[in-house]
């Protein structure tokens, strides 16, 4: 047991948490923005996957990491807009449309990689490079924290900046004000002349972009290739973090960080003498436990509502 403690208290573990939490944070904020705009973005998973694939392919063929990242973000943003269009123009159920987009992303990425590279597994045959790391001057001298913080990827810093950014956007800006009004009471927003659809499109575009950044990090952060279905359910776990965080920026931040820590723990325990199958269930078991806790707390708080129907 002491070896587990050693692992958890090491600066290498802290560094791993920051790294692993990055895609969760970004995707969760993407989910949060969409949820508050009134359209559930269950397609986070597909948007991440499409961005990861596009990023690796564009970077590999163009030789430019920046161009790759931009390509990934663009594709995910377009998928966000597509979800909004399916919901708002065609009246599709956002959940069903989202599932469709996830399946589309999974199939289309595998197909694109196979067609272009004749490889069923991924883009490891392509040299695509990674996004830069950002050294903070002087940070190395801080004990424990220094080792953990130095050499983190640019996207990791962006992920941590996303929390104050989204909080500022929601509660200080006119756009955030309108977004929250539209998501909570579209009739009220429309009755004061707020262009409800336009706000929802903008929200879903931002949601897709954030998920896209998470996807780009997966294929261009610490590895330099795309692997088929490499998101491995992170989009759904991020969605769980959105609700567990109570639909508030800092709550979502903590929830996503918690899921990151759980996965980092699973990775670290893998090096110890614990059955790997058991270890790899930790993030998912955490998710279930956390959601159960969330439901229980909600129930205990009690809304004072009686049995809903009279019959």
Partner 1 sequence: MNESWNAAGPAVAARAVTKTYGNGVRAVRGVDLEVPPGEIRAVVGENGAGKSTLMKMFYGLEQPTSGEILVGGRPRVLRGPSSAIALGVGMVHQNLMLVPSFTVAQNVVLGVEPGRRGLVDAKAAVETTARLAEESGLAVDPGARVDEVSVGMRQRTEILKALHRRAKVLILDEPTAVLTPQETEDLFAAVRRLREGGMTVLFISHKLREVREISDTVSVMRAGSLVGTVPTADATERSLAAMMVGRDLSLDVHRVPARRGEVTLRVRRLGYEAPTGQSLHRLSFDVAAGEIVGVAGIEGNGQSELAEILAGLRRPTAGTIHVGDTDTAGLDVAGHRRAGVGYVPEDRLHNGAALDESIADNLVVDRHDRPPLARRGVLHPGAVRAHAERLIGQYAIRTPDPSVPVRALSGGNLQKVIVARELSARPRLLIASQVTRGVDIGAMRFMYERLVAARDNGAAVLLISADLTELLALSDRLLVLKDGLLAGRFDDTTGLTEKHVGLYMLGVEHHGPEHLTAGLDTGEEPAA
Count of residues that interact with partner 1, criterion CB under 8 A: 27
**Residues 268-307, mask of contacts with partner 1 (x by CB under 8 A):** ----------------------------------xxx-xx
Q: Minimum CB separation from partner 1 for residue 304, in Å?
A: 3
Site stretch for partner 1 (CB under 8 A), options 37-45, 74-82, 148-156, 192-200 = 192-200
Nearest to 20 by CA among 268, 306, 277: 268
Burial of 129 (0-12, 13-18, 19+ CB in 10 A): middle
Does the protein bind partner 1 through residue 192 (CB under 8 A)? Answer: yes
- Tell me: does residue 310 bind partner 1 (CB under 8 A): yes
Distance CA 260, CA 111 (A): 30
The residue behind tokens 């996830």 is 102
- Cα–Cα distance measured from residue 65 to residue 60, given in angstroms and rounded to the nearest whole number: 8
H-run or E-run covering 295 = helix 282-301
- Contacting partner 1 (CB under 8 A), which of 145, 188, 272, 292? 188
Q: Which of residues 248-267 bind partner 1 (CB under 8 A)?
A: none
User: Which among 133-141, 179-187, 197-205, 265-273 is the span making contact with partner 1, rule CB under 8 A?
Assistant: 179-187
SS3 of residue 153 by DSSP: strand
Q: HSE on the CB side for 200, CA within 13 Å?
A: 24
Residue 248 to residue 241: CA distance in whole angstroms: 10
Shortest distance (Å) from residue 184 CB to partner 1: 5
Contact pick of 14, 56, 181, 206 for partner 1 (by CB under 8 A): 181
What's the CA gap between 25 and 28, in Å, rounded?
Answer: 5
193 counts as binding partner 1 under rule CB under 8 A:
yes
Residues of the shown chain interacting with partner 1 in the complex, contacts defined by CB under 8 A: 172-175, 177-178, 180-181, 184-185, 187-194, 302-304, 306-311
């Amino acid at each position: 047991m002491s070896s587990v403690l050693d692992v958890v208290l090491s600066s290498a573990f802290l560094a791993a948490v920051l790294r692993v939490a990055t895609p969760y944070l970004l995707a969760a904020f993407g989910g949060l923005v969409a949820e508050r705009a009134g359209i559930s973005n269950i397609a986070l998973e597909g948007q991440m996957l499409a961005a990861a694939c596009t990023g690796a392919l564009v970077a590999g063929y163009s030789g430019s990491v920046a161009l790759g990242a931009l390509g990934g973000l663009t594709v995910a943003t377009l998928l966000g807009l597509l979800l909004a269009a399916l919901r708002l123009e065609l009246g599709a159920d956002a959940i069903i449309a989202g599932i469709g987009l996830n399946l589309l992303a999974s199939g289309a990425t595998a197909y694109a990689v196979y067609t272009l590279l004749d490889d069923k597994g991924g883009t490891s045959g392509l040299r695509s490079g990674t996004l830069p790391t950002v050294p903070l001057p002087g940070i190395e001298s801080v004990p424990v924290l220094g080792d953990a913080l130095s050499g983190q990827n640019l996207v990791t810093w962006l992920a941590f900046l996303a929390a104050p950014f989204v909080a500022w956007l929601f509660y200080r800006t006119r756009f955030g004000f309108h977004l929250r009004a539209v998501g909570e009471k579209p009739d009220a927003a429309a009755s004061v002349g707020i262009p409800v659809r336009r706000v929802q499109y903008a929200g879903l575009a931002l949601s897709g972009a954030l998920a896209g950044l998470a996807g780009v990090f997966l294929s261009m952060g610490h590895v330099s290739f795309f692997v088929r279905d490499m998101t491995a359910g992170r989009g759904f776990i991020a969605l769980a973090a959105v609700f567990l965080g109570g639909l508030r920026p800092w709550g979502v931040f903590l929830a996503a960080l918690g899921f990151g820590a759980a996965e980092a723990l699973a990775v670290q325990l893998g090096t110890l003498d614990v059955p790997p199958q058991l270890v790899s269930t930790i993030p998912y078991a955490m998710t279930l436990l956390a959601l159960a806790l969330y439901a229980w707390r909600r129930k205990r708080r009690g809304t004072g509502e009686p049995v809903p129907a009279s019959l």
